[in-house]
Every structure is written in C-alpha cells, then in structure tokens.
Amino acid sequence: MTDEVIIRREGAAGFLSLNRPGAIHALTLPMVHAMTAALLEWRDDPEVKAVIIDHAEGRGFCSGGDIAFLRNSALNDGGTSGRKFFHDEYQLNHLIFTYEKPVVAFMDGITMGGGVGISQPARFHVATENTRYAMPETGIGLFPDVGGGWYLSRLPGRIGQFLALTGARLDGAECKWAGLATHYLPHNVLAEAKERIAHGHEPGQVLSALAVTPPPAKIEANAAAIAKHFASDRYEDVLASLAADDSEWAAKELAALRTKSPQTCKVALRQLHDSLNCADFAANMVMEYRIASRVLTRPDFAEGVRAVIVDKDNAPKWDPATPEGVSDALIDSIFAPLPADEEWKPL
C-alpha cells in the first residue's frame, strides 16, 4: 500500500485520510489504488457503518491529481501511464458514487480537480469556512473530469458551465448555495462530527445537528449575469455575450477566459451538454475517459502545465490558438468511442 493515505478503522467508521501535505494531497496512482482496495474491503464488513474521507494535515483537502505524472506520460510514453491513471481514478470515483454505505467527505481547505472527484460522489460532502473549491482544468489544457460533467451540468442557472470554463474558485458558503455541498460546518466541529460518526451515529443526522447557516454566498450577486452570459453551449456565443457587457464583472470573466485553452473550453461545454443525456454516472465516466484519452496527448495539456506549473510564465501557446480554430470535427474526434477493448469499465 502507500503511506500517502492513512487507512484506519475507528469504531463504526473507516477513515481514508489523504497524507501528502507537500503536494496539498494531490492524488497519485498508489493513493487511488489504496483507497479503492479499502473501500472494497469495507463494503462487505458489517462492522463498518460509514466511510470518512478527509486529510491528515496541511492547508488543503486535495488539490487535484498528479499533474506532473500525467504530463510526463504525455511527453514520454504516448499517454499510456496517464490513461491508466485516469482509468483507475474514474473507477474510484464511480465506486464512491455507487457505494451502499454512507460516505462523508470533508472538503476542509483546497478542493480541486481530483479532490472534487473523491468528494462530490460521496453521499455527504461537507464545506467549511476553509473550503476553496474549483475545477481549474481549462487553464492547463485539461477539462473538468472525474465526474465533473455529471455534477456541473446538473447545477441550476448555468453555474456549472461558468465554473467549468472559468475555473472560478468558490468558498464554502458558495458551495452550499450552489448545491456542491450537502452541509456547511465550522472547522472547529469537524473532529466532533467524525467522532460521533465513528461512535455509530447516522452521518446525516450528525451533520445536520452540527451544521450552521453559512455566510451570504458572494456568487449569488452574479447569478443573473452568469445565467445570461453562459447560456449558450457554443463557446463563441459566451465570449461575445461577455464582450457586449461593459460591467467590471464581465470584463474580468472575459479576461479569465482569454487565458484558457480554447480547445478544452469547447470540450467542457460539449461534455456538460452530453452528460445530461447519460443514462447513469457510469455512462458519464465512459464519455470522460474517451475525452481524457485524447486530450492527454493533445498539445494543449503539456503546454498548459508547462506555462502554469513548470515554468510559471502563464503564457501558454494554445493550439489551436483561437476558439474559431477549434473545429467541430476536432471536438467530435475527442468524443468518439474508443476501440471496444479500450473503453472504460466500472469495477
């Protein structure tokens, strides 16, 4: 196993505590495998009544996936090991989504990308005053995967499309308002919540008893503007709508979008649109694995990671460079089925 996840039993609860503080608990493949193995073991253990996913220390719950590993795969093995990472990570996401016992994820701190993937499918996902939630993938030439298509497409008022395209960060109160958290708890009662669950109390009742009313959600003031400007599934329409608005907010969001990969912005809009036609979460993950398999080795991913994370010059050279240059045929090819023996399958 791995020491990057602390796996333990405490009373009636199984704990999966992420333990990679130097990387804000970004998920590695050994972490994915360790969490999956524990969940499979606890699934049939009558002593385990609930599962808690949290982090051991540090300022974040989980900052995402192992981006350096994925970029190395894209550059050096044609994406083979990267596809393996996505495949197994998505199996973990699906396992949590379909788990029969209650899973409680404590999103206390930075919760991004892969961190969303292991918290959002839990039956209960708890925000705090420390939560900083985002799906920032379009900024590095990726897309909001790990089930993002499923969750974001089902938020009201085009909030999901806004988050997918801009990578905007939400605090805990905004997560609760948007429907991305089931409960809002102060950080200082989390230990008590976990203790009560470990003592066998029903998680939903514990969380409801300790929950407080969050502060006003700042994003609510922009809800009407988001619904208006992000209404279209055509990326050029979104840009034009923002450009026609002379407000400071619209200018800020337009400037943010100008830094993103045009290709993966178009991918994200198509992903959220198509997810609404998926029969279940597994079908959504089949779609997202097809996308991941293609986007991983497209030029924008390695370039985006270089610009934002490696060289930190924040000057990516996207290919295609403009939304108009991203053809429908290219997007269709990214979403096309894989050979039958390469398609994603749940555990």
Report, as residue numbers or ranges, the catalytic residues: 65, 114, 137, 145
What sign has the CA pseudo-torsion 305, 306, 309, 310?
positive
Strands lying side by side in the sheet with 103-107 = 5-10, 13-18, 50-55, 103-107, 124-127, 183-184
What three-state secondary structure class fits 226? helix
Based on C-alpha coordinates, what's the Rg of the chain? 20
Q: Which of 88, 107, 72, 73 is nearest to 39 (CA)?
A: 88
Closest CA to 301 of 255, 259, 269, 261: 261
Strands 183-184, 13-18: pairing is unpaired
Torsion angle (degrees, nearest 10) of CA 337, 341, 343, 345: 150
159-166 helix and 248-258 helix, angle to the nearest 10 degrees: 50
Alpha-carbon torsion, ordered 126, 127, 128, 129, to 10 deg: 180
CB 125 within 8 A of CB 107: yes
Is 159 in contact with 311 (CB distance < 8 Å)?
Answer: no
Q: SS3 for 196?
A: helix
d(C-alpha 289, C-alpha 282), whole Å:
10
Collect all residues with Cβ–Cβ distance below 8 Å to 124 and sequence separation of at least 6.
102, 103, 104, 105, 182, 183, 203, 204, 207
The answer to whether the beta carbons of residues 207 and 193 sit under 8 Å apart is yes
